[in-house]
Amino acid sequence: MAATHIFDAPPDGVAADWTMPQNWAAFTAEQHATWRTMFDQQSQALDGYACRSFLEGLDMLRQLNPGVPDFAELNALLKPASGWEVVAVPGWIPNQPFFEHLANKRFPAANFVRPPAQIAYSEEPDMFHDIFGHVPVLADPAFSDFLVAYGQAGLRAEKLGASDYLGRLWLYTVEFGLVVEDGELRAFGGGLMSSFAETLSALTSPEPRRIWLDIERVMRTRYNFDEFQRVYFVVESFEQLLCATEETDFASIYRKITGEPALEPGDACRGDVAYEGRLPPARPGPANGEAAR
């Protein structure tokens, strides 16, 4: 099975919601070997760098037969533990079905495995990125609720023409987010989990900026596709990430930043609070104590 690209409409064999049969039996011995190599390398390297929820969730993947995971076998473990199920998709899919899947606890996973030559870096997110990078954290209740809330927010953003802003929140949290655990900085984003080199850079290099999460700031910030990020956003916990999402009036942010110039990766911004190994200053909550939807 080879990598695919965005289509205007679901191709043959793909349903209207962009899901498809995994056809697990079609994966080759080489693809199974590639998966085992990547799994062994990444799972051993990430101990001490990945967040606790990821490492605990990784034990679920270890229960599967070695090689490319059979989604039916995976879902038999994942759904009772988290309420989520993995669905196969051909690659990148449009925003609307992507958000609908998340809002209904279906995690889309690309139905192809990168070639051996791209073990260190895949040109586009493949099944290893989607399954190894993201699935282990789905069993964390707060992170699970955040993804559902994100999917619901995405459906609203589509109607407002603001999906690009919300996409930046995804990239800087779900893909490249950092979290504080027991006073230590740990990685949780799937883009980091599937790339140990960037995980190491994100946590230890003096070059990137690490700042506390501010949703408006995130939505104004571009990101890099083909190089390590120059700025990483830090959350106190997944509960704080969920709370920030539920209490933020996304629509008002979209209106505020529409027409404003985007920040380039690594730019300093007035109001940034750098992570310096301690919790950030307390932030006031909504005046009425309720989510500002």
pLDDT at residue 285, as a whole number:
38
- Catalytic residue status for 201: no
Which is catalytic among the residues 85, 100, 175, 198?
Answer: 175
pLDDT at residue 1, as a whole number:
38
pLDDT at residue 261, as a whole number:
92
pLDDT at residue 287, as a whole number:
33
Which is catalytic among the residues 134, 144, 195, 198?
Answer: 134
pLDDT at residue 281, as a whole number:
54
Alpha-carbon span 260 to 219, nearest angstrom: 11
pLDDT at residue 122, as a whole number:
76
- Catalytic residue status for 5: no
* Alpha-carbon 100 to chain mean position: 16
CATH architecture of 24-257: Orthogonal Bundle (1.10)
pTM: 0.91
Please report, for residues 17, 217, 226, the alpha-carbon distance to residue 264 in angstroms, rounded to integers and kept in the order given: 34, 11, 14
Which is catalytic among the residues 43, 100, 101, 129?
Answer: 129
Domain boundaries along the sequence of the chain: 24-257
- Catalytic residue status for 195: no
- Catalytic residue status for 82: no
Rounded to 5°, the CA angle 4-6-12 comes to: 70
| Averaged pLDDT in 10-residue chunks for the chain of 293 residues | 59 95 97 96 93 96 96 98 97 95 98 90 88 97 98 97 97 97 95 92 94 96 90 97 95 95 91 81 38 26
